[in-house]
Amino acid sequence: MSDENLQPVFQIQRVYLKDLSLEQPNSPAIFLEQEAPGIEVSVDVGSEKLADGIYEATVTVTVTAKIGEKVAFLVEGKQAGIFEARNIPEDQLEPLLGIGCPNIVYPYLRSNVADAITRAGFPPIHLSEINFEAFYAQRLALAAEQDSATADAPATIQ
C-alpha cells in the first residue's frame, strides 16, 4: 500500500506547560506605586520533529510590566503540545505546525500566564487572542526579506 492511499492523521498527544518563570525585582516597594504599569508582550512560536510523524509545537509569551523604568514583574511562559501528524502533504505541514498547533496550545498559555500574575499579587492580565495565520505570514515575509538582503549583499573575500 503506497503513502498516496493513506489518510492524513492529525491528533493531539499531549498539551503541557514546558516553562514558566516569574520575576518581581522591585517587590515589595512596587506594590506601593499608584501609577498603572505599562505592559509589553512578546510572542514566539516554534516546532521540532521528535520522531517520525510526531512533532512538538511551542508558543512562548513574555509579559513585562513597568512603572516608569522600574519592572513590576516579568513573566515568561512556554506552552507546548505533542502532535501526531502523518501523511500530511509537505506544503501543508509547516502551516499546520505554525498556525494550527499554536491555536491549540495558546489558550492554555493565556490561562497559565494570567494565573501566575494573579498569584504574584497583581491584577490578572488577559492576553489578547492572536491570529496565528497572520503571525505565520509575517514570519514568512520577514524570512524572505532577510534572505533577499543576504543574497543582495556583496560577497566579502578574505
Domain range annotation of the chain: 7-129
pLDDT digits (tens, 9 = 90+) for 22-39: 999 999 999 999 898 999
Tell me the mean pLDDT in the region 138-145. Answer: 88
- pTM for the whole structure: 0.85
Confidence of residue 124 (pLDDT cuts 50, 70, 90): confident
Looking at the structure, give the CATH architecture of the domain made up of residues 7-129.
Roll (3.10)
Top mean pLDDT of 31-40, 137-146, 147-156 is at 31-40
Q: How far apart are CA 35 and CA 151, in angstroms?
A: 48
pLDDT at 152: 56
Residues whose CB falls within 8 Å of the CB of residue 157, separated by 6 or more in sequence, listed in order: none
Structure-block grid coordinates of residue 45:
512560536
In degrees and rounded to multiples of 5, residue 129 shows phi and psi of -65, 150
